[in-house]
Amino acid sequence: MSTVSRRFYRPSTFLIAGALAVGLLGAAMPAQATAEVPATTIPPAVVTIAATPAATKVSFVAALTPAQVATVRAAALRAAAARAAAVRAAAIRATAARALRARTTAVRLASSKIGSRYVAGRAGPTKFDCSGLTQFVVRHATGRLLPHYSRTQWRATARVARKNLRPGDLVFFFGRGAHHVGIYIGNGRMVSASNPRAGVKIELVFSGWYGSRYSGAGRLI
């Protein structure tokens, strides 16, 4: 009686053999045809931004065409000009608001001194001569110290045409022997320290005694 020898194979042996068989079959079979997908051209700028989360402006601009660079620069210049214009407009508005407050203060303060006594050489707070009153009002309305005499105040102020007069301007009178200055309060009127008899009062600028002696106006506010 013959003896049949039994051989035992491990499972891994079958797996290796199967893999080899599949490899041989794959080598023997012709390769399957594959459709070619056209390559997509990605702009360098997009590649740079996608590959680098913190893409720099230099990398982006370098990838633009000359026309695109010109467009970006023009837009940047327009934005900068708009910002500068906004800053200038805000500064102008602020200056105008300060001037309006100062003129309003000047008129209010000058009006509050109506009835005060005229005393030569005095500049307030209760007694004034003409240039002392304007000095007092300007100092408290603007913080600027004017000299005490009408001639020097004339030289210290910017000339203003009659049609452009605003409340708070100084009005001067030098004609026909006059030597006088007052605070313009609008509607052709001024507050001034006229003389010891009249004291501080409202006077007409362009008519009456002062009308023929009007020399001009000056502005500090």
Question: In the structure, what pLDDT confidence band is assigned to residue 195 with cuts at 50, 70 and 90?
Answer: very high
Look at residue 47 in the predicted model and tell me its pLDDT: 41
Q: Is the dihedral of CA 213, 156, 169, 163 positive or negative?
A: positive
Is 67 buried (19+), middle (13-18) or exposed (0-12) by CB count in 10 A? exposed
Question: Smallest Cα–Cα separation from 133: which of 96, 86, 177, 183?
Answer: 183
Q: Confidence band (pLDDT; 50, 70, 90) for 53? A: low
How far apart, in whole angstroms, are the C-alpha atoms of residue 34 and residue 120? 112
pLDDT above 90 (res 133): yes
Confidence of residue 176 (pLDDT cuts 50, 70, 90): confident
Output the six-digit token pair for 34: 């594959």
Buried b (16+ CB within 10 A) or exposed e, 157-175: beebeeeebebbbbbbbbe
User: Mean per-residue pLDDT for 178-205?
Assistant: 96
pLDDT of 68 reads 87
pLDDT above 80 (res 37): no
What pLDDT was estimated at residue 175? Answer: 87
What pTM does this model have?
0.64
More confident call, 16 vs 106: 106
Q: Which residue, among 113, 174, 168, has the nearest Cα to 138 in the 3D structure?
A: 168
Residue 130: predicted pLDDT: 97
What is the overall mean pLDDT for the chain? Answer: 80
Instruction: For residues 42 and 82, give the distance between their C-alpha atoms in angstroms, rounded to a whole number.
Output: 35
Query: In the numeric block, which tokens belong to residue 59?
Result: 């990398």
